[in-house]
Amino acid sequence: MKKNRVIALLLCLMMTFSFVACGQKAPSADADSKPAVEEETKTEEELLAEENEILHENSELWEKVFASMNKNVSDDTLSSNYGEILLSAVESAKDQFSDEEYESLKKGAEKIREIEEKISALSADSTSEQPEADAQGNKFPSFEGKDFDGNSVDNSLFSNNAFTVVNFWFNGCKPCAEELDDLSALNEKVKEQGGEVIGINTETLDGNEQAIETAKKLLDAAGASYRNIYFDSNSEAAKFALGIMAFPTTYVFDRDGNVVGEPLMGGIDNEANLKTLQNTIDQALAKDTAK
């Protein structure tokens, strides 16, 4: 989970300070005024909401910090405490701020570092209590939904393709919007191989008309014509989609809806990312041909 949250930060920092995973507003009460025993019993969602609040308090300053950060995600970055990453970024951008602003940002990053330690402990406990969690994520759950044109869709879309590239995105994600034309071009390419690109915009679940209209405008502006689908927000498929924290994220599935390779986090408008995705597509195609 930490891996996803770190990448989500590096990919979408300029667009939103709300973490997609929790989708909750930060608590209005002062966390420091609460008894220590209550701090220990907070849920992961409540702790993430505290991180949101810290970032929201000085959003303009944090934008400057984020803008100066190295967007290349390394293994060392993924294994680091999120707060440590922010502390390093604040230190690197120190010359851009007054002493007061620097101290405020540093204090916020240190608080997030403490919160991350608590989240790591909770995540470890959750993993030990739910040994089947990883297995459940290896296949796209059954669903019934519609595409943006109102046509019914279900899991048969996987069986109808040699492989299916599924891109998860949302309207407010700038990196997501920037790769829509590349995804459309990819769709035309993979059609020749018996594949298809499908988009799932997490804001359009339940057929949210306003979100669908906005998504359509973004797709039209990019000249993108590949299918985008949605389904009920209470479905298992929605749990899969809403469990994704890094946007954009792209999966490759085989005819049975099984995940092939590793999901790609980041836009395919990046040459290295496109090459990585193509390698996974080749793997899926070889698997299908071998059947």
Non-local CB neighbours of 114 within 8 Å, separated by 6+ positions: 83
- CATH architecture of residue range(s) 136-289: 3-Layer(aba) Sandwich (3.40)
Residue 187 has pLDDT above 80, yes or no: yes
**287/291 Cα distance (integer angstroms):** 7
Place of tokens 């240190």: 110
Distances (CA, A) of 156 to 61, 141, 143: 48, 12, 10
Instruction: Decide: 183 and 226 in contact? Cβ < 8 Å.
Output: yes
Non-local CB neighbours of 160 within 8 Å, separated by 6+ positions: none
Q: What is the pLDDT of residues 137-183, one digit of tens each?
A: 589 999 999 999 999 999 999 999 999 999 999 988 888 999 999 99
Domain ranges of the chain: 2-129, 136-289
**59/178 Cα distance (integer angstroms):** 23
**166/265 Cα distance (integer angstroms):** 12
Q: What is the pLDDT of residues 29-64, one digit of tens each?
A: 343 444 433 445 677 767 777 877 887 788 888 878
What would the mean pLDDT of 6-33 be, rounded to a whole number?
39
Name the strands in the sheet holding 227-231, side by side, starting at the edge strand that comes first in the sequence: 152-154, 144-147, 227-231, 195-201, 163-169, 249-253, 264-265
Q: What is the pLDDT of residues 98-139, one digit of tens each?
A: 999 999 999 998 998 898 888 777 766 554 444 333 333 589
Give the pLDDT of residue 182. Answer: 96
Greatest CA span in the chain, whole angstroms?
64
Cα–Cα nearest to 147, from 224, 207, 235? 207
